Amino acid sequence: MRDTQRVKVYDAEQLVRSVFDRAADFGQRTVEVHGSRLTLPVERKFASVDSVQQYCDRVLALGWVATTWERAGVPIRVRARAGNVAAHYESGHAVLAVPLHAEPAARGRAAWALRELVVLHELAHHLEPRPEAVAAHGPEFCSRYVELADGVIGPEAGLLLRLTFHDSGVRLG
């Protein structure tokens, strides 16, 4: 299955992460999006593979997650990933791999992948019931990711992600 939305999804996510970073850096949590004022919730950051593992376990154990997606009952294992380019999910083994180092351009920031939005992206892959039958970043994935952001981080995060996907031409299912 061809992953035609991949680049658009990654670009939109980078915009959303930048909005959250700026809000945290400048202490200004209120942003204007499409004429609406949103007060962004705090996005959790992680210090280690263990803290990401604990977070994933807690998210998958949430009642609404467990009743919405059957694969929430499949345990996920988090491991460190060499390099700093990308986090990824290995569906055959239910493994989330996160880089522990900052991007060279991050100028003192912690590892870019040790943050809630990135981890929820990978959990959205984990919750896919038919990974071999659908595009990795297709409309179903994007809707699942928005729903996770909405329910776990907060509705403002879900709305910001949904609007940014829309503006970027990302289709939701």
Q: What is the pLDDT of residues 41-90, one digit of tens each?
A: 999 999 999 999 999 999 999 999 999 999 999 999 999 988 767 899 99
Q: Which long-range contacts (CB under 8 A, 24 or more apart) does 9-15 make?
A: 9/137, 9/141, 9/142, 9/165, 9/168, 9/170, 11/168, 12/161, 12/164, 12/165, 12/167, 12/168, 12/170, 13/117, 13/121, 13/161, 13/164, 15/164, 15/168
Give the model's pLDDT for residue 15. Answer: 95
| 161 vs 170: CA distance, rounded Å | 11
Report which secondary-structure segment, H or E, holds 100. Answer: none
Q: What is the pTM of this model?
A: 0.91
| 163 vs 171: CA distance, rounded Å | 11
Q: How far apart are the first and last CA of the chain?
A: 16
Contact criterion met (CB below 8 Å) for 110 and 118: no
Residues of the chain with pLDDT under 70: 84, 102-110
Q: Which of 112, 98, 106 is nearest to 55 (CA)?
A: 98
Report which secondary-structure segment, H or E, holds 158. Answer: helix 155-167
Report which secondary-structure segment, H or E, holds 77. Answer: strand 77-81
